[in-house]
Amino acid sequence: MLIVGWIIAGELQPQGYDPVHETISVLSGLGAAHSWIMTAALYCVALGYLATAVGLHGVHRSARMIIAFGGVAGLGVAYFPQPANGSTFDHMLFAVAGAGLLTLWPFVMAYWRPTLPLLGRAGSDRSPWERLVSRNGLVVAGLVIALSVLAMYVAAQMGMYLGLAERICTALQALLPLLVAVGLRRITTHAETERAGVPTL
């Protein structure tokens, strides 16, 4: 939803909008053409975070709460649009809070994950999904997101490539909860199948 939103909204902007240098918030701002498209996408993404927090069973409550607060921050970003020129305190507050929370949650989740493989397999026998949702996998994913946030901050300070850096950062932040949810689902189903003695493909 996030990526589709910024692609469609960007295409509908008049000449002069530069997705490499201008932020996503410009597309939902008060001066944007068809701003409702990006605003609706932001609302959908925020609601997706809230739904993930509710449905992500098997994850410690603290990590789920952080995702939920990240979703609330996303609702604030959508509800307080950026003005035609500059920004507002409300918009920036929710944007920074959301970025921080969604950077923090993989590390919080990793802290509560078991150090042993979830299905008792070691090393090369572990599937990519097991590696992702393991403690080490979550730490690596968190570091990648943290580096993308740092790159976005540097781009904002330099006034260059801010739009590109923001798109990479927000796409990674939105993708990780989805991958974790799918990964937990896959390994749980696999474990139940193994316990039942049913061969898996």
Domain range summary for the chain, segments of one domain joined by +: 2-196
Each residue of 95-133: b (16+ CB within 10 Å) or e?
Answer: bebbbebbbbbbbbbbeebeeebbeeeeeeebeebbebb
pLDDT (tens place) for every residue of the chain, 201 residues total: 999 999 999 999 987 789 999 999 999 999 899 999 999 999 999 999 999 999 887 788 999 999 999 999 999 999 999 998 878 999 999 999 999 999 999 999 988 875 544 444 455 566 788 888 888 889 999 999 999 999 999 999 988 899 999 999 999 999 999 999 888 888 876 555 555 555 544
For residue 112, what pLDDT is reported?
83
